[in-house]
Structure 1
Amino acid sequence: MVEIRKMNYSDLESVQEINTKNLPENYKMKLYYYILTLYPDLSFVAVENGLIVGYILIKLEKEDLDINLAYITSLCVDFEYRNRGIGKRLIENGIKAVKNYLKENMSHINSINLILNVRVSNNLAINLYCNKFGFKNTDLIEKYYHNKEDAYRMVLTILPS
């Protein structure tokens, strides 16, 4: 059975390995440390039999003078573990964590936009984001990725729990 739990520092090597193995967009270790240090309650790993098989990395960003954006920096499930609902569970935990963070730390804000970028060719992910979670495709970002593929910017407005 796959357990979803908060990410911690000892997970970061495995998270980076999964990222490098499964995604063309790879991040330096300092980015993982930075996000986990600033927002330790917003990122999660999926674990099966002690092995990390997926993760979601979320950070907050400022628009204008206030934090009102949450950003899914990276979401990945190892190829061998896909189509088992792990990505869905990671997103559910991420959304719940953002709601709780909003309620506990930002009570002066009525909502926060959870944003992600996805390759226009990634139909499975687009379907998951739109049909399962209600993300809206708000923008096309031309040549966003390193290989010049376009991305869709997707947004989900989150209200406090």
Structure 2
Amino acid sequence: SEFAKRQHGEPLFNVLPDIFSNLVGVKLDEQRQLNEEDFKSVIDFLFKYVSKKKQTESLLEKLLERFCLANDDPRACRDLAYIMSKLTFNEQSLKGLLHHYDNYRDKLFDNDVYQSFLTILDNAKKNLGAKPDLKVKIKRFFSFCLLFFID
């Protein structure tokens, strides 16, 4: 923690994708997997070191790719969605989320995943709500999520 502060979080950020991969439930045996409450506590702690716009975009890209690997693992999908809900979305990251819709659209049936995406939308509205063109993108994304959840 002290090292990460002195280095402005860069060394820690560089290994965050690997840390997340090891924490997310994909193909972990029962003994290594954290319960969901502990997982969320660890993620909340680690996100103190994710602050830069470029870090968010890079991390989002990697998380969206990992959704494809989590096909048969509902816990992994919930974990990935929770991590994504902690990101601060800007215009570029919102575009990336819309662009990679196919990576996670079939995971939205899980209520916890869906709730995490609603959190993403709420946070995006707060962060980006002033721009009219972004309001349209946020509404479009919300309608994608809602349509899939209703089907």
TM-score where L is the length of structure 2:
0.32
Query: Structure 1 or 2: larger helix share?
Result: 2
Larger RCO (CA under 8 A, 6+ residues apart)? 2
TM-score of the superposed pair, with normalisation by structure 1: 0.31
